[in-house]
Structure 1
Amino acid sequence: MEKLVSNWSNVQSVPENYIFPPETRPGEYLKIPFSHSIPIIDLNEAQNGDRTNTIQKIIKAAQEFGFFQVINHGISLNEMKETMSVFKEVFQMPDEYKQNMHLDDDLKTCKIFTSSLRYETEKVHLWRDSLRHPSHPLEQWQHLWPENPTTYRECVGNFSIKIKDLGSRILDLISEGLGLECEYFDNDLTGSMIISVNHYPPCPTPSLTLGITKHKDPYIITILMQDDVSGLQVFKDGKWISVEPLPHAFVINIGHLLEIISKGKLISAEHRAVTNSSHTRTSAAFFIAPSDDCLIVPAQDISDENDRPILKCFKYKEFLKQFFNKHGDTDMLRKSLEAPKN
C-alpha cells in the first residue's frame, strides 16, 4: 500500500526511480496548446439520416489521427459526472479498504495498483495509481467489483452497459465504412471489456515524469472519459498534440487490433499521459476487446494496396501476452506475428 503514489505524492522533488530518461520525459512538451484540428464527430447526424457523412468523418479521422472525440452519443452529462465521481471516490477510500484490492498477485480480477502491473521489474515507475477490472459480460464480473462506494456496482454497471452499446454503434459505422458486412464486430471480437481508471496526483516536477508512457492500446477500440483536467497527448506527424477534455464528449482511440484487422486502413494512435503540479487528474478508459480464445485475422474483404506482410492467425490471449512481454513495442510485436514467407 505504501507504494501507491497518492499515499506519498506530496513531496518536494520527484524520486529518482520516477524520473524518465531525457528522450522520453515530457520536458518542454509538457504544456502544449490544445489542437483545434482534432476531429469532433456528432453522432446525432447518423441518427438523423446523414449516416454516410458520419461514416466518412469517422473513417477519415481513424486514417489521419487514429482517434477522435464524439458528442451527442446518447449518454447524459449527469451520468458521466456521477460515474466519474464514483471512480474518484474509490481513490479516497481509507487505506485499509484499498489494501484489500491492492495488487499482490496476478490472480485478482479487480485490483488497485501503482504504476503498472510490472512494478517490481520496471526500471522507471509511472506517476499514477490505477483501478482495473473486467466489465463484460456484466453478470460474470459485477459481483467481484468494489463493494464501496456502495453505489459503485450499480452505477458503474449501468454505465458500462451504455458504453458497450456506444462501442457497438461506433464499430458498426466503422465496419460499414471499411466495406465489411453489417455487425462485423458483434461477436467474439468484442467479447470482453475492461475498465481502467487512472488517478494522477499532482507532481512537483511534471516535466521529469509521466503518467503513462507512449503506447498503442492492444484492443479493438478504447472509449475514454476524461475529467476537466488536461493530460492526454497524442503523437501525430512526429510531434505531440494535446487533447482538450470536452465536458460532454468521449475520446475514441483506434486499437492496435483494429489496425491489424483493417490491414492498416485505420491507424492506432500512439498516446501518453502527462501530469501537472497543481491538480489531480482522473480518467476512465473502457477497453473493448476480443474474448481470450478469439482468433484474430485481417479482414479478407479489405484489399491491401500497401502490400503489407501477411499476418498469421493468432488467438487474442496469445497476442496480449506477447504485447506485454514486448513492453508494448507494437513494431516488434507485428514482426513476430508475420507469417513465414514461402
Structure 2
Amino acid sequence: MLQSNPPFLQHYGALLRHPTEFPALECDEPKNGVGMEECQLPLIDLNDLNCENKRERVACCRAIRRASSEWGFFQVVNHGISPELIQRMRREQVKLFQTPFESKTTCGLLNNSYRWGTPTATSPKQFSWSEAFHIPLSQISEGTCYGEYNSLREVTKEFAAAMSKLARLLAGVLAENLGNQKSVFEDICDESTCFLRLNRYPTCPISPEIFGLVPHTDSDFLTILCQDQVGGLQLMKDSQWVAAKPNKDALVVNIGDLFQAWSNNLYKSVEHRVMANRTTERYSIAYFLCPSYDSLIASCTEPSIYRKFTFGEYRSQVQEDVKTTGYKVGLPRFLL
C-alpha cells in the first residue's frame, strides 16, 4: 500500500545531522508543555449580536473587544455554520489527505497548493510536523482543481462561503469597536487574497516535543479555526504558553498582525503553535481574512505605533525574513 504520510523522519533527521549557518528559532523549554493545564478560551455567543435587546448586543461586542485585547483569541458558538456542514467538510478533508504522498505532490490538486513540513527550516526547532492544502478562495470554484475529488468541490465552496460570511461579521464588529465603518472590509478584502487552509498533523513517533506547527503569528486581519477534539493548540498568554481546550461546539478566532497594526496595538496578534501528538492525528481547517495586496494598513488612532504599509509590502518582508533568517519577524519591522 502506498504511503500517505510525507517523509517527515528523513527531513527531520537531516536537520539534526546538518546544522547550517542560519540562526535557529529560539523557543521556550520545555516545548511540549507536558503537564500544562488546559485553559478555556473566552467563549462568546454570537446569537447576542442579533438580539433585539440592545444591551445584550453591546455586551457581546464588548466581550469580543475585551477578548481580542486581553487574549488575542476567543471562541464563538451559534456562529451559523451547521454541524452537518462541518462533518461533511471533515469527511472530505480526511479522504483527501489519505491520498498517497506522491499523488499529493504531483497531481496539482487544489491549485497545486499542497505543502508539508517546513521547506525553509534550517534546524529542528523550525520544522513543522504537518501537511496542508493552502487554497486561495479565487480557486475554490475551479472544477479543474479537484481532479477526481468531485464531492470535495461542492462542500468546500459551501464551507468557504460560510466562513467568509462569519469572518466579515466578526471583522465588522472589531472595526466598529475601533470607531470604523464595518463596511471597510467589504471594500478591501476579496477572494483574490483570502484563503482556506486544510491541515493534517500526522502522529509523530519521535517525541511529544515536536512542533506540529512552529510558533508564529498570522499575517492577516483575523483567522477562524475549525478543529477536531484532539487538542494541541497553544498560545502565549502573560509570557507563558497555555494549552487551549477544544470545544466541540465552538470555532476558534484569533487576531492577526494587520488588526494589531490597524488597532494601534489595542487588539493583540498573539504567538501560537501546535504540538504534535504521538498517538492521534489531528485535523483542522483555517480561514484567513486578508485584504488586497495594495491595501494600505494604517493605525486608526494617533500617535501611531507603526508606519503605514501595504499588505503586499508586509507579505514580501515576512517572506524575505523567513528566507534569510529562518523565522518571521513581522510587525516589529514596521515600528516607527
TM over 0.5: yes
Q: Which whole-Å deviations, capped at 9, do the CAs of 1:83-114 have from their partners, x for residues lacking one?
A: 122112111023453132479xxxx9432121
Q: Which whole-Å deviations, capped at 9, do the CAs of 1:117-144 have from their partners, x for residues lacking one?
A: xx156333221111111014755xx345
> What is the rounded CA distance, in whole Å, between the counterparts of 1:25 and 1:282 in structure 2?
25
Q: Which whole-Å deviations, capped at 9, do the CAs of 1:239-264 have from their partners, x for residues lacking one?
A: 11111221121110100000001111
Percent identity for Structure 1 against Structure 2: 26
> What is the rounded CA distance, in whole Å, between the counterparts of 2:121 and 2:28 in structure 1?
19
For residues 229 and 102 of structure 1, do their structure 2 counterparts lie closer, same or farther at Cα, with a shift above 3 Å needed?
farther
For residues 60 and 22 of structure 1, do their structure 2 counterparts lie closer, same or farther at Cα, with a shift above 3 Å needed?
closer
What displacement does 1:202 show?
0.9
> What is the rounded CA distance, in whole Å, between the counterparts of 2:278 and 2:309 in structure 1?
43
> What is the rounded CA distance, in whole Å, between the counterparts of 2:42 and 2:207 in structure 1?
28
> What is the rounded CA distance, in whole Å, between the counterparts of 2:291 and 2:87 in structure 1?
28
Across the aligned residues of Structure 1 and Structure 2, the Cα RMSD in angstroms comes to 2.9
Q: 1:134 aligns with which of 120, 133, 136?
A: 136
Structure 2 residue aligned with 1:236? 237
Q: 1:323 aligns with which of 318, 323, 334?
A: 318
Describe the SS at the equivalent of 2:171.
Answer: helix
User: Mapping of 1:289-304 within 5 angstroms?
Assistant: 289-299=290-300, 303-304=301-302
What displacement does 1:233 show?
0.3
> What is the rounded CA distance, in whole Å, between the counterparts of 2:93 and 2:232 in structure 1?
18
Structure 2 residue aligned with 1:314? 309
For residues 150 and 310 of structure 1, do their structure 2 counterparts lie closer, same or farther at Cα, with a shift above 3 Å needed?
closer
User: Mapping of 1:6-25 within 5 angstroms?
Assistant: 6-8=5-7, 15=13, 17=15, 23-24=27-28
> What is the rounded CA distance, in whole Å, between the counterparts of 1:309 and 1:184 in structure 2?
21
Q: Which moved more, 1:22-31 or 1:259-268?
A: 22-31
Q: TM-score, normalised by structure 2?
A: 0.85
> What is the rounded CA distance, in whole Å, between the counterparts of 2:258 and 2:169 in structure 1?
18
Q: TM-score, normalised by structure 1?
A: 0.84
Structure 2 residue aligned with 1:114? 116
Q: Please tell me the residue identity of whatever aligns with 2:122.
A: E
Contact 1:216–1:270 (CA under 8 A) maintained in structure 2? yes
> What is the rounded CA distance, in whole Å, between the counterparts of 1:67 and 1:283 in structure 2?
16
How many equivalent residue pairs?
319
For residues 121 and 229 of structure 1, do their structure 2 counterparts lie closer, same or farther at Cα, with a shift above 3 Å needed?
closer
What displacement does 1:178 show?
1.5
For residues 205 and 121 of structure 1, do their structure 2 counterparts lie closer, same or farther at Cα, with a shift above 3 Å needed?
closer
User: Mapping of 1:152-301 within 5 angstroms?
Assistant: 152-189=152-189, 192-299=193-300
What displacement does 1:16 show?
6.0
Structure 2 unmatched ranges of 5 or more? 18-23
For residues 28 and 275 of structure 1, do their structure 2 counterparts lie closer, same or farther at Cα, with a shift above 3 Å needed?
closer
What displacement does 1:308 show?
4.9
Q: Please tell me the residue identity of whatever aligns with 2:228.
A: D
For residues 255 and 27 of structure 1, do their structure 2 counterparts lie closer, same or farther at Cα, with a shift above 3 Å needed?
closer
> What is the rounded CA distance, in whole Å, between the counterparts of 2:60 and 2:278 in structure 1?
39
Structure 2 residue aligned with 1:82? 88
> What is the rounded CA distance, in whole Å, between the counterparts of 2:115 and 2:32 in structure 1?
29
What displacement does 1:17 show?
2.7
For residues 297 and 152 of structure 1, do their structure 2 counterparts lie closer, same or farther at Cα, with a shift above 3 Å needed?
same
